Amino acid sequence: MSAHAILKKIYGYDQFRPGQEEIIDSIVSGRDTLAILPTGGGKSVCYQIPALMLPGTTLVISPLISLMKDQVDALTRLGVSAAFLNSSLSQEQYKNVLRRAFNGEYELLYIAPERFDAPMFQQLTEHLQIPLIAIDEAHCVSQWGHDFRPSYRQLALAISRMEDRPIVAAFTATATKEVAEDIVAMLNLQQPATFVTGFARPNLSLSVVTGVHKQDFLTQFLKERAEQSGIIYAATRKEVEAVHERIHLLGYQAELYHGGLSDAARAEAQENFRFDRTKIIVATNAFGMGIDKPNVRYVLHWQVPGDLESYYQEAGRAGRDGEESECVLLFDASDLFIHRFLIEQGLGDEQRKAVQASKLHEMTSYCRTDACLQQFIVDYFGERAVEPCGKCSSCLDTSEKVDRTQEALMAMSCVARMRGRFGVTMVAKVLKGSSDKRLLAAKLQSLSTYGLLKQTSEKEIVDWLNWLVAEQYLQLSGGQYPVVTLAERSRLVIEGKEQVWQRRRSTVKQLLSNSS
């Protein structure tokens, strides 16, 4: 049967989602494959269909025990023979599954990575015909991923010891270059075909809101969405409790969810939300792993997360049913301090801290850009550019565009003269004409750009420089204490081929229709 026929006959879907067919073709043709798909993008079909097309038993490595059970149950309902091996099984059950696996009874066998090295498993691979090993959450193999698991390192070893090396297909939703390269290297993928696809979510309206009083914003926001189900993410337990309290005072019911609560309390909150007994849940990022509630109409972020992967994963819990939904991020630059602090104080070597710091910069650029937010995200995840979405806070911003080419040239010329040795703050001080001690010590007052923007406040100059970074006229590099240099795009401006236009923002008005 063709892949398409299986999709129709077994799953009952009419067509493939973007990328699915290409990924399946690549695997079935025998190539190692790296597929980068967003959560909810439909990756299970991408290894389940090949498993049905190839002879023998496909192994699926997955770290999420509850997800394994869900998938095996779903496959069984569809009439596909599948089972799992993980720590939730009793000794008896475990043996039973193994025995049947030895008989070649399963088309798919899900295995937790910790099991991969066990001698029993070694035996399995010797006795079974294994055409394909699908590795879910493959970023767990990478130190650069947000969820490194040493057991994933054993995978590569175990696979390389297998007599007939099967096709290896790795799946992840984490798309940064470091992680992708790590996956290929660590899992020893042989000339893999790589697919990045499906990150655009056309039913989501993305917004960034800056410069509001958060409490007032919340009041109005909830008033207009009283009937809707939504998730509100806040950065800390304390913050979650404060927002939760506030919502109660406003007269709404809301659940509370964070790591400081008992398992029972968390389970109850999650269930109440999932089954629509409570419309709103206020949570830290501990909430969400594995929940798949279809009708979440909005995800509101009270604070900016530390990187775009986390943000998009959390925001992406809105609109899983394909209906129009909103993802709103309240951005206040002072919320960045906590992230910087955590990076500084965190474990990990300098290189890792530098990676985290540059992820935080990307996240902030998302908050500051005038470009289409959906495009910004898709671009970040390495997918080919898509059309502007037409519904994000940038696309809907009808505020006046101001020609700021002159100020941009001043900033660029100052940055060029500082020769990549200083950060945004020092560049701002020079433009301001400050008599800061460090500035004077470095003799920066002798630069011709010193004091060029002396009418403007230092804070505004910093904002201006950060905006130029967000729009990719300038770039930051060097990790935790980044220095600023000219980016490729600045050349067009310097050569007079491009003008710099900046919007006066009016985001809040669009989101709060009745506030006028």
Summarize as ranges the residues that interact with Zn ion (CB under 5 A). 372, 374, 388-389, 392, 395
Q: Rounded CA gap, 23 and 309, in Å?
A: 22
With beta carbons less than 8 A apart as the criterion, state whether 473 and 185 touch: no
Shortest distance (Å) from residue 320 CB to ligand ADP:
8
Q: Please, are residues 157 and 121 in contact by the beta-carbon 8 Å criterion?
A: no
CB-nearer residue toward Zn ion: 20 or 325? 325
To Zn ion, the closest distance from the beta carbon of 373 in angstroms equals 5
Sequence-ordered list of residues with C-beta below 8 angstroms from that of 360, at least 6 positions apart, any chain: 306, 307, 336, 339, 340, 343
Tell me whether residue 269 or residue 395 sits nearer to Zn ion (CB atom): 395
**Least separation in angstroms between CB 200 and ligand ADP:** 15
289 vs 342, beta carbon nearer ligand ADP: 289
469 is in the binding site of which of Zn ion, ligand ADP, none (Cβ under 5 to 8 A by kind)? none
What separation, in Å, do the N-terminal and C-terminal C-alpha atoms of the chain show?
59
Q: Is 18 left (phi over 0), alpha (psi -120 to 50) or beta?
A: beta
Q: Who's near 89: CB < 8 A, 6+ residues apart?
A: 97
Alpha-carbon distance of 474 to 394, in angstroms, equals 20
Secondary structure of 150-207 in the HEC alphabet?
A: HHHHHHHHHHHHCCCCCEEEEEECCCCHHHHHHHHHHCCCCCCEEEECCCCCCCEEEE
68 to 87, 97, 155, 338, 495: CA distances (angstroms): 12, 14, 18, 36, 57
254 binds, among Zn ion, ligand ADP, none (CB under 5 to 8 A by kind): none
CB of 100 to ligand ADP, least distance (A): 25
Binding partner of residue 269 among Zn ion, ligand ADP, none, CB under 5 to 8 Å per kind?
Answer: none
Q: Between 60 and 130, whose beta carbon lies closer to ligand ADP?
A: 60
CB of 474 to Zn ion, least distance (A): 23
Question: What are the CB-based long-range contacts (under 8 Å, 24+) for 94-102?
Answer: 98/124, 101/57, 101/128, 102/127, 102/128
- Structure tokens, 244: 């939760």
- Please choose which of ligand ADP, Zn ion, none residue 328 contacts, taking the beta carbon within 5 to 8 angstroms, the exact cut-off set by kind: none
Residue 41 binding: pick among Zn ion, ligand ADP, none (C-beta 5-8 Å cut-off by kind): ligand ADP
- Picked from Zn ion, ligand ADP, none, the partner binding residue 372 (CB below 5 to 8 A depending on kind) is Zn ion
The entry of Zn ion, ligand ADP, none that residue 37 binds, CB within 5 to 8 Å by partner kind? ligand ADP
Residue where the block lists tokens 């109005």: 220
The item of ligand ADP, Zn ion, none sharing an interface with residue 451, based on CB under 5 to 8 Å by kind, is none
For residue 208, what are the CA distances in angstroms to 90, 369, 476? 49, 9, 22
Q: Which is nearer to ligand ADP, 138 or 512 (CB)?
A: 138
Cβ 376 to Zn ion shortest distance, Å: 8
Q: In the complex with Zn ion, which residue's Cβ is closer, 4 or 509?
A: 509
- CB nearer to ligand ADP: pick between 106 and 199: 199
Footprint of ligand ADP on this chain (CB under 6 A)? 13, 16-17, 20, 37, 39-45
Instruction: At 362, list the tokens.
Output: 């990307």
Between CA 364 and CA 357 the distance in angstroms is: 11
Minimum CB separation of residue 27 from ligand ADP in Å reads: 15
Residue (195 or 221) nearer to ligand ADP, CB: 195
At closest approach, how far in Å is the CB of 366 from Zn ion? 12
| Residue 7: CB minimum distance to ligand ADP, A | 6
- 429 close to 421: Cβ distance less than 8 angstroms: no
Q: Please identify, using beta-carbon distances, which residue of 13 and 252 lies nearer to ligand ADP.
A: 13
Question: Residues 386, 200: contact at Cβ < 8 Å?
Answer: yes
Residue 290: partners with Cβ closer than 8 Å, 6 or more residues away: 64, 66, 67
- Pick what 18 binds: Zn ion, ligand ADP, none; C-beta below 5 to 8 Å, kind-dependent: none
| Whole-Å CA distances, 142 to 174, 312, 360, 362, 398 | 10, 20, 19, 20, 43
Distances in Å between the alpha carbon of 362 and those of 112, 285, 357, 359, 380?
A: 33, 19, 9, 5, 8
Given Zn ion, ligand ADP, none, residue 395, with its beta carbon under 5 to 8 Å by kind, binds Zn ion
Question: What is the closest distance, in whole angstroms, from the C-beta atom of residue 161 to Zn ion in the complex?
Answer: 49
17 or 503: CB nearest ligand ADP: 17
